[in-house]
A and B are shown apart, each in its own frame.
Chain A
Amino acid sequence: MQLDQLLADRTDLWRGHAAPPAAPTGLPTGFRALDAALAGQGWPAAGLSEVLSAHAGAGLALLMPLLAAFSHGHQCRGGYPGQPRWLLWVGPPYIPFAPALAARGLDLRRMLLVHAGADAAWAAEQGLRSGTCAAVLAWTGPGAGWMDHHAHGQRWARAGGIAGERRANGWTPAALRRLQLAAAERSTPVLLVRPLAAAGETSPAALRLKVSACAEGLDVTLLKQRGGRSGQRLRLPAQPDADSGGEPRPGVGVVSAGPGIKVQAVGDGLPPAPLARRSRRRRSAPRR
């Protein structure tokens, strides 16, 4: 029984005969179809996720419901409701347009824009290790950083190669690995927006998906996910589903579990006592 318990506590262990975990361990994406396809029914809460995208708009649109939920103090893994933490944006390719972000529910005061150039991977890791960031977003493309655009004659870079990613911004495979480890250790999600060319590379990310804009909205392909199937292709609506993201409302995005359902810890390596306390708190959170 104890062995069973131990095995059940680990989500990095996939047991073929077992049913998929009943309790959602991920952070809701805001898109019902995507939640259903993901192993944790959402973004990995403690790990590296990669969004490969040729379209800067589609990449950010996919992340918006999650960021909006973070802005409102929900999904506070390792933190507490009401404790404001940063949303670290490392090397955004263009200017994140404040009026649009505010209208979509982002608390702009929590945004921390970092133009790190060659130190981008370092900056992302610092954000993770500080424990003061709710989530870390990083754009790894060679043109990442709109301040650099100024320097390069405002070039409109639509897609980038993997070589530039490595050379220019320090996103080596080793850096990605460090980031994945740090994310797991600090129970903080890291969302990496990479160019499409990175699809051919191996990556330590817990989740990789490809997104592009299409006429109906977003076209998402799951390239890899830990503990779940991959290869599905999803058409997501242009707007997040009304009841699970987008315009935030109370209760949205709380990682909640019903009574009697064990909330699983996602490999954050904490001793059991705080975990028990945390899961109790989560149970008392309002259910939607």
Chain B
Amino acid sequence: MNWLALHLPALALEVYSRALPPDRAPAPAAGRRSYPPLAGADARAALAADGPDTAVTADLPASAQPQPLAVSEHDRIIACNAAAARLGIVPALSAAAARALSAQLRILPRRPAAERAALSRLATWAYGFSDQVSLAPPAALVLEAGRSLKLFGGAVALRRRVLDGVAGLGWQARCVLAPTPAAALVLAAAGEAAQLNVRAGTDANETAGAGAGIVADHAALRRRLALLPVAALDFTAAQLDDLQRMGIGRVGELLRLPRAGLAERLGSDRLQQLECLLGERPDPRRAHVPPTRFRATLELPAEVPDAPALAFACRRLIDELAAVLYARQAGVQHLHWRFHHADGPPTPLVLGSAAPARDPQHWLALLRERLDRLRLAAPVRAISVSSERLRPLAPADTELFPQDIGGATPDPALLDRLRARLGWTAVQGLAAVADHRPERAWRLGEPSLAPAGPRRGAPPAAGRGRAAREQPAQAQETVVPGAATGARRDRPLWLLAAPVALSLRDGRPWLDGPLDLGAGCERIDTGWWDDCPVARDYYAARTIAGERLWIYRELRGAGGWFLHGIFGDDPAAGDGD
């Protein structure tokens, strides 16, 4: 039992229907899940189990409620959902007959490319279980599980975990562990048909309970294969006809025949196939290489007109992304969403996070915030998401006593949440710059809570030496403490974004009364070397009411008096201590 095969029986349909909440009504035909969804990842689906039309359907427009869906290829129905099955639609029905049965049935064309892409993404997800994952188109994966058994706690636990994971991503799957990859694939594809046959046979203990889907050794494999109908092997129709005429219905009867004769009748490649099945011949497989970026597209079965209703479908993609990131121990910082319409360019949406993140809840919260205010030009037909290169993500350190030792870095989720709603530039950090021009003495920056060092104040400012060197003598009477970091005690708490011109009365600046200019001024005359020359005399003035203002007299051009800042406290007191 070294190989684990995963077969997706409803892949053709689920490429579409995965965008919808699971249909919980009992399905008479195949297409019903036999295992519970993953608790955490699919809480909404679990909610739906209590009342099928409360929690889930609230998210979706009426047009997206479970409606009969079928997928056709060459005018034949190849898969249908439970709602369609209730109407009597069965696979292999012709499309015309299906339409005759029900007018509301939606028949969608099969999309082999989407199936291949979905399979490939699932392989990337499965990379979390094994480093050797191979695609087995059209609808199966096989992974080397022998080396993973110990890590995941045995074959039963591994199989359960894979099944839960796949269900959480919204796929139905059958999973078989077997000693050879070919046998695992054949048994997984044969699925319940094989199980029924085994149960009818003598080997009851192998299928009972936890042992289901696990073939322990070659002897058991041979017994299990022997009971399969020959149709389970991918022989051509002509070869199957041949075998039937020979009176051979089961694989066991086929294996009892002499090999040389078999090769003559069926061809040597079929014989090799049988030998691979039994492990008598090596069966090398090409390993899937996970991509360095995440890209996924989800086709919606019906057009969705308003943005918030897209949240469920987007969640599928986010869950998938999270699973891939988890498997790769990676995170992404930006997600580029595109909502495709029937015509016209797709609506883009870029989600950003302050730090590489992989928590699906985090991404979903950010997305919901943006979807609520997204304006769609037209109903959405498909959603695609792509990421930049995946970045390695160090798992967050957890403390032995988390209550007593606070983490040094706070949760970046606050920044992300604020930015998701208000825009990237609406949330800023602040830094001081060592420049004498008030306009240049501060700047906005990317907020970051660096661990507080011994030096307080601003991060090192650019051009600090130059500003000090070019300092005109009259502007700097004393060496101001903290000048290297730009900190100045004698500056106002508030600076006006643009100076406001003051009116003059009797040649004195006036603001609700004459301004008391106090004693002395500070001349700032600098910046002649760049694009922002400044020549001003600054005064700490007082209004009649006692409010202290920072005003200046312009020395260049037309002159005039301007209000530039507002003090809160006394700028002179505490200076130099």
Residues of A within 8 A of B (CB): 55-62, 64, 71-73, 79-80, 82-86, 92-105, 107-117, 119, 122-123, 126-127, 130-133, 146-147, 149-150, 154, 156, 212-217, 238-240, 246-247, 274, 277
CB contact list, B485-518 vs A, under 8 A: 485-489, 491-498, 500
Q: Which residues of B contact A274 (CB under 8 A)?
A: 403
B451 part of interface (Cβ distance < 8 Å):
yes
Q: Which residues of A contact B449 (CB under 8 A)?
A: 84-86, 109-110
A212 with B545: CB separation less than 8 A: yes
Q: What residue in chain B is nearest A278 (Cβ atoms)?
A: B403
Q: Which residues of A contact B414 (CB under 8 A)?
A: 86, 126-127, 130, 132-133
Q: Which residues of B contact A64 (CB under 8 A)?
A: 493, 568-569
Q: What residue in chain B is nearest A150 (Cβ atoms)?
A: B497
**A154 to B498 alpha-carbon distance, docked (Å):** 6
**A38 to B299 alpha-carbon distance, docked (Å):** 62
Q: Looking at chain B's contact residues, is the secondary structure mostly helix, strand, loop, or mixed?
A: loop
**A216 to B573 alpha-carbon distance, docked (Å):** 12
Residues of B within 8 A of A (CB): 403-408, 410-411, 413-415, 417-418, 421-422, 426-433, 438, 441-444, 447-452, 456-459, 482, 485-489, 491-498, 500, 542, 545-549, 563, 565-570, 573-574, 577
**A112 to B456 alpha-carbon distance, docked (Å):** 17
B494 with A61: CB separation less than 8 A: no
A99 with B427: CB separation less than 8 A: no
Q: What residue in chain B is nearest A111 (Cβ atoms)?
A: B430
B495 with A94: CB separation less than 8 A: yes
Q: Looking at chain A's contact residues, is the secondary structure mostly helix, strand, loop, or mixed?
A: mixed
A109 with B482: CB separation less than 8 A: no
Contacting A114 at CB < 8 Å: which of B418, B497, B574? B418
B429 with A111: CB separation less than 8 A: yes
B458 with A98: CB separation less than 8 A: yes
B136 to chain A, nearest CB (A): 47
B568 with A114: CB separation less than 8 A: no
A103 with B487: CB separation less than 8 A: yes
Jot down 23 A-B pairs with beta carbons below 8 A, ordered by A: A57-B547, A57-B567, A61-B569, A82-B408, A83-B408, A86-B447, A93-B494, A94-B494, A94-B566, A95-B442, A96-B430, A96-B494, A98-B431, A101-B432, A107-B456, A109-B431, A113-B444, A115-B427, A131-B411, A212-B547, A238-B570, A239-B569, A239-B570
Q: What residue in chain A is nearest B438 (Cβ atoms)?
A: A97
B430 with A59: CB separation less than 8 A: no
**A149 to B498 alpha-carbon distance, docked (Å):** 9
**A213 to B492 alpha-carbon distance, docked (Å):** 14
A60 to chain B, nearest CB (A): 5
Q: Which residues of A contact B415 (CB under 8 A)?
A: 112
Q: What residue in chain A is nearest B409 (Cβ atoms)?
A: A84
Q: Which residues of A contact B495 (CB under 8 A)?
A: 94-97
A108 with B457: CB separation less than 8 A: yes
**A128 to B498 alpha-carbon distance, docked (Å):** 32
Q: Which residues of B contact A215 (CB under 8 A)?
A: 542, 546
A58 with B421: CB separation less than 8 A: no
B312 to chain A, nearest CB (A): 24
B411 with A97: CB separation less than 8 A: no
B347 to chain A, nearest CB (A): 22
B498 with A95: CB separation less than 8 A: no
B497 with A57: CB separation less than 8 A: no
**A215 to B547 alpha-carbon distance, docked (Å):** 8
User: Given A96-B430, A130-B417, 7 more contacts at CB 8 Å?
Assistant: A98-B486, A104-B489, A109-B448, A130-B411, A147-B497, A213-B547, A213-B548
Q: Which residues of B contact A126 (CB under 8 A)?
A: 414, 417-418
Known: A80-B405, A114-B427. A57 touches B421 (CB 8 A): no
Q: Which residues of A contact B421 (CB under 8 A)?
A: 119, 122-123
- Closest 8 CB pairs between A and B? A61-B568, A83-B406, A238-B570, A98-B442, A102-B487, A98-B432, A100-B491, A57-B568
